[in-house]
């Protein structure tokens, strides 16, 4: 058994501690910043009763209590799954967060669907052609890709779409198409939902709209993976077991496919996992500012602008949990496929 | 690949296929609907709630199409016109009002509109405000008793005179909902907090031309034509949209893209520099002169803005025409006083003329030695105020006054600005804030911004008993002698003009851009209900 229960237990305990730390730190930080949630909860009251309304709102939100009680209450509410209503929109916090989360996650999952194979293939090809012009080109390209600001590239893609195709990828799916085809979101992942419902027009529409932001976000993972893969393969090709295989007269393709590629899978998974989480931040910027898609970015920005501390905190906790889960999964998958690793 | 891995893979794929088949069977796509007239309206903010009695912010955009008020304020004629009430009378002292209601009107759930609905709607808004201070129910503050005379006649008894017909046209807290909401929400009292949650969860029972069918305050709201609406015979518009989608598109550039891609039919906030391009591409526009105005408040409790002559120096060094041209690209009107143009009680000659020599003279009289540094607090997410602040800074440099800019988002700006009442020396010298009205009364602006009891919104810290008395008296007098009341409001504004605790900067002109496939008549927009489009008047071309 490569993954011990003890490891999972330790990891879970550590994760809980991290989440608690994030809650306390974020709560304190939010309370220190100006912007009174009670004012927003009371609805920016005007008229002679404004002061009274804000005081009552403060009591209702529990903001009149000492900070440690407020934090304890939030943790209790979080654990019992009752984060209350959003201060800005008066609907359950979970509803706000989930709607944004599925939109952003769909974008990243789609991005990684082609970024990982493409990045690995570029790295592999570069390593095979080591020292050639194509190798230099791919190496330079990977540096450029990894260091390109995504919001800038996103704007360029938008501009290019408009100039060359006359199409402006705006939003996640056409509202009019949704209406005319009777599309009903189930999971919140529109590509999947439209496939499930056999709604091809919506699938194509959602696909066409997700490609431009996905292209913008994909440059970082493609660049990083190409570079890492090349280095790993180049190192592996110098290993004794590869030399031995060459000496045995095994074909070069077989060596790479059977031995070299297998050996680089664990580090590639690790790098993919790390950059996956990094891309979440990238996606939050690009989807909102450049492509006008709904998602975590706009929700986070709005919650900060509107002193909606409940949504901000929920996002902080969920994003932390997401980060931890992805990394833990990466570790477990690594240990499962690589017998040398014992967690 | 080991056998074990192979079997796991097969099981996983089988599970996935079964799940997809299962979901497909249970969520078959509906057949494409009959050709509907659809209008997508891009609105630039998320919806903050849709409780008709409590909501006081962006929810108006939705409420305005679902619910109706007893009366309607026509800004072009400054007249109050019938809506759910067909007629009304008031006693000579303005303390008793009788409204005669429209017969045969039904709520969206089929329940009849009658006196009971009016009574519960008004009482709920008023009482929530009285008990908790939330919402805009203060507009009904004077209402002491509501008597149901008969099914279609309702009598209001007031504790002090009021223009109740004007108040009943308010853009907030004046909507009439069906008493059936009590049963639908499963609560026993209209004051139950759960009823508010029920409304905000996407439920509505109004009488308006559109019904709420889908509500997601962060993405979109879907409205469907109410074929039983009483007003269809009056508007006579067979091409009115069957479905209206209010789409939340916060980024102006995304609204622009949406228009170009045909996704959006009406946009409320495209970047102003892109409007020309859109018009060249065949889009149309209506420029609505709104009651949304921007006001510069002086900290009257902190040196040097506590010196009247210093404030006068600032306002005379301010070239508003240039600012409107450069910062707003013409989409604004130089303000005159703190009441917007066209609003009841507005006065035309309360503009400080740009005169740098005069400004320097005032600066010298103020005895403030240059260089002096003052801070300007403004809202960062308004492009207009951001540009204004930069130009303002350069203009003040010509006067020898250095301006430090303090950009903040709205929640923080308000938090900092209201500190003037507790800690004026730590509060910025200047604050820019914006306002739009709840009711068509000058009291709405003047009380909120400058009354000494308005500690939440009077960012100038202005305390002037004469001013307070003038507007308080005018407010009471509105019900008895409206002309005299307006005279008092004018006097109060002249006082503000002399004291300069605040200066109106500009009244917003909002361009609504729309596609050629629809016709958006001017009457569909009204500055009192800003951002609310009367979709019943919009025509959709095939």
Residue A89 CA, chain-centre distance (Å), reads 24
- Do B162 and B180 fall within a single domain? yes
Number of structural domains (chain B) is 3
- Do B271 and B298 fall within a single domain? no
B30 contacts on A by Cβ (under 8 Å):
182, 184
CA-based nearest distance B227→chain A, Å: 19
Residue A51 has pLDDT above 90, yes or no: no
Q: Which of residues 208-247 of A touch B (CB under 8 A)?
A: none
A291 touches chain B (CB under 8 A): yes
- Do B167 and B129 fall within a single domain? yes
Domain with residue B219: its CATH number is: 3.40.190.10
B301 touches chain A (CB under 8 A): no
Six-digit token pair at B308?
């009247």
A42 touches chain B (CB under 8 A): yes
Exposure string over A79-89, b if 16+ CB within 10 A, otherwise e: eeeebebbbbb
Q: How is A173-236 classified by DSSP, letter by letter?
A: S-HHHHHHHT---SSS-HHHHHHHTT-HHHHHHHHHHHHHHHHHHHHHHHHHHHHHHHHHHHHH
Task: Verify whether the Cβ–Cβ distance B48 to A291 is below 8 Å.
Answer: no
Does B34 map to a domain? Answer: no
- Do B302 and B332 fall within a single domain? yes
- Do A261 and A296 fall within a single domain? yes
CA distance B218 to A93: 12
CA distance B374 to B313: 13
Q: Chain A residue closest to B416 (CA)?
A: A34
Instruction: Convert B148-209 into a string of H (helix), E (strand) and C (coil).
Output: EEECCEEEEEECCCCCHHHHCCCCCCCCCCCCCHHHHHCCCCCCCHHHHHHHHCCCCCCCCC
Does B63 map to a domain? Answer: no
B409 contacts on A by Cβ (under 8 Å):
35, 304-305
Residues 6+ apart with CB under 8 A from B281: B260
- Bridge-based pairing of strands B143-150 and B85-90 is unpaired
Burial class (CB in 10 A: 0-12, 13-18, 19+), B162: buried
Length of chain A: 343
Does B47 map to a domain? Answer: no
B250 touches chain A (CB under 8 A): yes
pLDDT, residue B280, reads: 94
B39 touches chain A (CB under 8 A): no
Phi, psi of A304 (to 5 degrees): -75, -45
Residue B195 CA, chain-centre distance (Å), reads 24
> Which residues pair with residue B297 across a beta bridge?
B431, B502
Q: What is the pLDDT of residues A295-331, one digit of tens each?
A: 898 898 888 888 888 999 999 888 888 888 888 888 7
Does B46 map to a domain? Answer: no
Does B88 map to a domain? Answer: yes
Residue B214 CA, chain-centre distance (Å), reads 22
CA distance B343 to B437: 10
Out of B54, B196, B261, the one facing A170 most closely (by C-beta) is B261
**Max CA-CA distance within chain A?**
91
- Do A318 and A269 fall within a single domain? no
Does B131 map to a domain? Answer: yes
Q: How many Cα neighbours within 13 Å face the side chain of B79?
A: 5
- Do A133 and A42 fall within a single domain? no
CA distance A211 to A216: 9
Six-digit token pair at B316?
């005379």
Contact B479, B94 (CB under 8 A): yes
Exposure string over B429-452, b if 16+ CB within 10 A, otherwise e: bbbbbbbbbbbbbbbbbbbbbbbe
Residue B417 CA, chain-centre distance (Å), reads 21
- Do A21 and A4 fall within a single domain? yes
- Do B253 and B386 fall within a single domain? no
- Do B530 and B440 fall within a single domain? no
B134 touches chain A (CB under 8 A): yes
Residue A93 has pLDDT above 90, yes or no: yes
Does B6 map to a domain? Answer: no
Out of B197, B258, B455, the one facing A51 most closely (by C-beta) is B455
Q: At which residue do the structure tokens 């019992």 appear? A: A80
CA distance A233 to B333: 67
Residues 6+ apart with CB under 8 A from B363: B309, B310, B313, B370, B399, B400, B401
Residues 6+ apart with CB under 8 A from A32: none
Out of A196, A294, A304, the one facing B23 most closely (by C-beta) is A196
> Which residues pair with residue B376 across a beta bridge?
B405, B430
Task: Verify whether the Cβ–Cβ distance A50 to B456 is below 8 Å.
Answer: yes
* Domain membership of residue A6 as a residue range: 1-88+307-343
Q: Chain A residue closest to B446 (CA)?
A: A47
How many of the other CB atoms lie within 10 Å of CB of A163? 8
- Do A239 and A133 fall within a single domain? yes
| Most B CBs within 10 Å, among A30, A100, A170, A291, to test the B interface | A170
CA distance A298 to B52: 26
In angstroms and rounded to an integer, the radius of gyration of the C-alpha atoms of chain A is 24
Task: Verify whether the Cβ–Cβ distance B133 to A53 is below 8 Å.
Answer: yes
First to last CA, chain B: 60
Out of B200, B250, B408, the one facing A90 most closely (by C-beta) is B200
What Cα–Cα distance (Å) separates residue A307 from each residue in A28, B418, B477, B515? 14, 16, 39, 36
CA-based nearest distance B498→chain A, Å: 25
CA-based nearest distance A259→chain B, Å: 14
Number of H helices, E strands in chain B: 17, 19
Number of structural domains (chain A) is 2
Task: Verify whether the Cβ–Cβ distance B416 to A34 is below 8 Å.
Answer: yes
First to last CA, chain A: 10
- Do A188 and A295 fall within a single domain? yes
How big is the CA angle at B458 (ends B456 and B460), to the nearest 5 degrees? Answer: 135
A57 touches chain B (CB under 8 A): yes
Mean pLDDT for back-to-back runs of 10 residues, chain B (542 residues): 61 67 50 73 93 92 96 91 96 93 96 97 95 88 95 95 92 94 94 94 96 93 96 93 94 87 91 92 94 96 96 96 91 95 93 95 90 92 87 94 92 88 95 90 94 92 97 91 95 97 96 95 90 95 76
What Cα–Cα distance (Å) separates residue B166 from each residue in B73, B121, B338? 7, 17, 20
- Do A126 and A194 fall within a single domain? yes
Contact A217, A283 (CB under 8 A): yes
Contact B376, B370 (CB under 8 A): no
Mean pLDDT over A87-98 rounds to 91
A175 contacts on B by Cβ (under 8 Å):
40, 220, 245, 247, 263
- Do A62 and A101 fall within a single domain? no
Contact B118, B101 (CB under 8 A): yes
Instruction: Bin B367: left if φ > 0, else alpha if -120 < ψ < 50, else beta.
Output: left
Contact B317, B370 (CB under 8 A): no
Six-digit token pair at B303?
């040196």
What Cα–Cα distance (Å) separates residue A143 from each residue in A139, A152, A235, B273? 6, 16, 19, 36
- Do B442 and B393 fall within a single domain? yes
pLDDT, residue A128, reads: 85
A171 contacts on B by Cβ (under 8 Å):
247, 249, 254, 258, 263
Contact B176, B121 (CB under 8 A): yes
CA-based nearest distance A256→chain B, Å: 17
Out of A49, A158, A199, the one facing B129 most closely (by C-beta) is A49
Out of B133, B415, B447, the one facing A34 most closely (by C-beta) is B415
How large is the angle between the packed helices A5-32 and A67-79, nearest 10 degrees? 140
Six-digit token pair at A83?
């984060």
Rounded to the nearest 10°, the torsion over CA B252, B257, B263, B266 is: 40
| Listed residues B195, B220, B240: the one ending a domain | B195
Task: Verify whether the Cβ–Cβ distance A171 to B33 is below 8 Å.
Answer: no
Residue A340 has pLDDT above 70, yes or no: no
- Do A174 and A28 fall within a single domain? no
CA distance B102 to B84: 5
Supply the pTM of this predicted model.
0.85
- Do B505 and B528 fall within a single domain? no
- Do A227 and A329 fall within a single domain? no
Contact B466, B435 (CB under 8 A): no
Q: How is B326-340 classified by DSSP, letter by letter?
A: HTSTT-EEE--SSSP
Contact A182, B33 (CB under 8 A): yes
Q: How is B420-444 classified by DSSP, letter by letter?
A: GGT-GGGS-SEEEEEE--SSSSHHH
ipTM of the complex: 0.80
Does B35 map to a domain? Answer: no
Exposure string over B90-100, b if 16+ CB within 10 A, otherwise e: beeebbbbbbb
* Domain membership of residue B463 as a residue range: 290-509
Out of B48, B134, B217, the one facing A45 most closely (by C-beta) is B134
- Do B317 and B418 fall within a single domain? yes
How many of the other CB atoms lie within 10 Å of CB of A194? 25
- Do B244 and B144 fall within a single domain? no
- Do A17 and A108 fall within a single domain? no
pLDDT band at residue A335 using 50, 70 and 90 as cut-offs = confident
- Do A248 and A190 fall within a single domain? yes
Q: At which residue do the structure tokens 């891309």 appear? A: A279
Phi, psi of A199 (to 5 degrees): -95, 85
Domain with residue B90: its CATH number is: 3.90.76.10
CA distance B292 to B438: 11
Domain with residue A214: its CATH number is: 1.10.3720.10
Residues 6+ apart with CB under 8 A from A247: none
CA distance A287 to B175: 37
| Most A CBs within 10 Å, among B39, B45, B134, to test the A interface | B134
A292 touches chain B (CB under 8 A): yes
Out of B24, B130, B243, the one facing A197 most closely (by C-beta) is B24
Of B90, B112, B92, B89, the closest CA to residue B102 belongs to B112
């Amino acid at each position: 058994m490569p993954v011990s229960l003890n490891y999972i237990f330790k990891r879970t305990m550590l994760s809980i501690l991290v989440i608690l730390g994030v809650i306390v730190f974020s709560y304190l930080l939010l309370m220190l910043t100006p912007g009174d949630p009670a004012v927003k909860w009371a609805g920016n009251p005007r008229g002679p009763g404004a002061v009274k309304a804000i005081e009552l709102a403060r009591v209702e939100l529990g903001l009149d209590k000492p900070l440690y009680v407020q934090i304890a209450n939030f943790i209790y509410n979080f654990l019992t799954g009752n984060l209350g209503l959003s201060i800005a929109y008066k609907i359950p916090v979970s509803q706000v967060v989930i709607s944004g989360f599925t939109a952003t996650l769909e974008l990243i999952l789609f991005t990684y669907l082609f970024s990982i194979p493409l990045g690995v293939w570029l790295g592999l090809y570069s390593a095979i052609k080591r020292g050639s012009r194509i190798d230099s080109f791919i190496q330079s390209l990977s540096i450029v890709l990894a260091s390109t600001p995504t919001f800038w590239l996103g704007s360029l893609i938008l501009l290019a779409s408009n100039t060359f195709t006359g199409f402006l990828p705006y939003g996640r799916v056409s509202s009019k198409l949704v209406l005319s085809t009777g599309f009903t979101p189930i999971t919140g992942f529109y590509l999947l939902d439209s496939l499930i419902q056999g709604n091809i027009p919506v699938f194509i529409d959602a696909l066409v709209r997700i490609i431009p932001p996905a292209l913008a976000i994909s440059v970082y993972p493609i660049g990083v993976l190409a570079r890492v893969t090349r280095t790993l393969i180049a190192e592996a090709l110098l290993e004794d077991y590869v030399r031995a295989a060459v000496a045995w007269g095994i074909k070069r393709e077989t060596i790479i496919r059977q031995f070299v590629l297998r050996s680089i899978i664990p580090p590639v998974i690790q790098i993919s996992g790390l950059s996956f989480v990094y891309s979440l931040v990238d996606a939050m910027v690009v989807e909102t500012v450049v492509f006008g898609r709904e998602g975590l970015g706009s929700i986070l920005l709005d919650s900060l602008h509107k002193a909606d501390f409940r949504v901000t905190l929920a996002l902080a906790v969920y994003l932390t949990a997401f980060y931890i889960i992805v990394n833990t999964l990466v570790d477990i998958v690594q240990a499962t496929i690589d017998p040398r690793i014992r967690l | 690949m080991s056998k074990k891995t192979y079997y796991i893979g097969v099981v996983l794929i089988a599970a996935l296929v079964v799940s997809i088949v299962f979901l497909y069977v249970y969520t078959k796509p509906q057949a494409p609907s009959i050709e509907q007239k659809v209008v997508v309206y891009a609105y630039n903010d998320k919806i903050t709630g849709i409780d008709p009695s409590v909501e006081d912010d962006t929810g108006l955009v939705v409420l305005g199409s679902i619910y109706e008020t007893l009366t309607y304020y026509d800004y072009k004629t400054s007249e109050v016109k019938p809506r759910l009430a067909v007629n009304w009378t008031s006693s000579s002292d303005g303390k008793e009002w009788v409204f005669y209601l429209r017969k045969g009107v039904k709520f969206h759930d089929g329940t009849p509109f009658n006196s009971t609905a009016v009574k519960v709607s008004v009482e709920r808004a008023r009482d929530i405000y009285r008990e908790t201070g939330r919402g805009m129910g203060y507009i009904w503050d004077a209402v002491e008793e509501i008597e149901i005379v008969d099914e279609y006649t309702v009598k209001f008894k007031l504790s002090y005179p009021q223009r109740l017909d004007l108040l009943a046209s308010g853009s907030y807290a004046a909507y009439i909902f069906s008493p059936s909401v009590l049963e639908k929400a499963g609560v026993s009292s209209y004051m139950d907090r759960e009823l508010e949650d029920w409304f905000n969860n996407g439920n509505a029972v109004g009488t308006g031309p559109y019904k709420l069918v889908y509500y997601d305050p962060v993405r979109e709201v879907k409205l469907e034509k109410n074929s039983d609406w009483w007003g269809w015979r009056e508007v006579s518009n067979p091409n009115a949209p069957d479905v209206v989608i209010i789409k939340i598109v916060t980024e102006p550039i995304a609204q622009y893209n949406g228009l170009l891609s045909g996704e959006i039919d009406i946009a409320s906030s495209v970047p102003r520099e892109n409007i020309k391009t859109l018009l060249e591409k065949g889009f149309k526009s209506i420029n609505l002169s709104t009651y949304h105005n921007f006001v510069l408040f002086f900290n009257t409790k902190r040196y040097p803005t506590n010196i009247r002559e210093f404030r006068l120096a600032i306002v005379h060094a301010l070239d508003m025409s240039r600012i409107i041209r450069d910062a707003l690209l013409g989409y604004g009107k130089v303000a005159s006083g703190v009441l917007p143009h066209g609003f009841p009680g507005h006065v035309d000659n309360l503009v400080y003329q740009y005169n740098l020599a005069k400004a320097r003279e005032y600066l010298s009289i103020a005895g403030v030695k240059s260089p002096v540094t003052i801070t300007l607090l403004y809202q960062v997410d308004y492009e207009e105020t951001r540009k204004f602040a930069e130009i303002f800074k350069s203009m003040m440099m010509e006067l020898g006054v250095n301006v430090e800019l303090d950009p903040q988002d709205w929640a923080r700006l308000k938090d900092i600005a209201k500190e003037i009442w507790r800690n004026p020396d730590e509060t910025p010298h200047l604050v820019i804030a914006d306002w739009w009205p709840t009711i068509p009364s000058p009291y709405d602006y003047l009380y909120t911004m400058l009354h000494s009891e308005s500690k939440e919104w009077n960012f100038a810290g202005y305390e002037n008993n004469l001013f307070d008395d003038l507007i308080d008296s005018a407010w009471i007098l509105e019900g008895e002698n409206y002309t005299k009341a307006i005279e008092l409001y004018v006097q109060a504004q002249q006082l503000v003009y002399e004291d300069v605790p605040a200066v109106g900067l500009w009244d917003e002109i909002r361009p609504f851009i729309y596609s050629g496939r629809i016709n958006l008549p001017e009457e569909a927009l009204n500055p009192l209900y800003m951002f609310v489009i009367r979709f019943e008047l919009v025509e959709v071309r095939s």
